[in-house]
């Protein structure tokens, strides 16, 4: 999903109304699903009886510790903000009232 972010940002920059489209909503929901999947897989090694083949000790040292401590919450807040903006999008009747 992160690969498609520049495309989505370019679409929003070209036409701000794209933020209120169903395509943008689906893109945002898929991004949240990808985010939840990454967090799930990142914490899977904590489950009893699960023997991971990859060690996550590297994520406890800088600069890699910035990913779970800073960037993951930043992405979560961005997705929540985008969903809230989409939910409170201007309806067609409101935009007609504001038009001269």
96 part of a folded domain: no
pLDDT score of 94: 54
Q: Taking a C-beta distance cutoff of 8 angstroms, is the pair 18, 24 a contact?
A: yes
Residue 52: the pLDDT is 65
Domain total in the chain: 1
In a domain, 76, yes or no: yes
43 located within any domain: yes
Residue 64 lies in a domain: yes
Q: Is residue 25 part of a domain?
A: yes
CA proximity to 85, closest of 12, 5, 7, 6: 12
Side-chain half-sphere of 68: how many Cα atoms within 13 Å? 16
What range defines the domain where residue 22 resides? 2-91
Is residue 65 a part of any domain in this protein? yes
Cis peptide, bond prior to residue 63, ω within 30 of zero: yes
pLDDT per residue as tens, the chain (100 positions): 889 989 988 998 998 888 888 999 999 999 889 888 888 877 777 777 776 666 777 878 889 888 888 988 898 898 889 889 888 877 655 555 555 5
Kindly state whether residue 55 falls inside one of the protein's structural domains: yes
Q: Does any domain span residue 56?
A: yes
């Amino acid at each position: 999903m992160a690969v498609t972010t520049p495309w989505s940002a370019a679409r929003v920059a070209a036409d701000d109304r794209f933020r209120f489209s169903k395509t943008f909503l689906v893109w945002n929901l898929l991004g949240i699903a990808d985010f939840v999947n990454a967090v799930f897989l990142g914490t899977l090694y904590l489950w009893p009886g699960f023997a991971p083949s990859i060690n996550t000790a590297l994520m406890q040292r800088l600069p890699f510790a910035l990913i779970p401590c800073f960037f993951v919450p930043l992405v979560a807040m961005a997705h929540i903000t985008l969903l809230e903006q989409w939910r409170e999008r201007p309806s067609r009747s409101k935009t007609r009232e504001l038009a001269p």
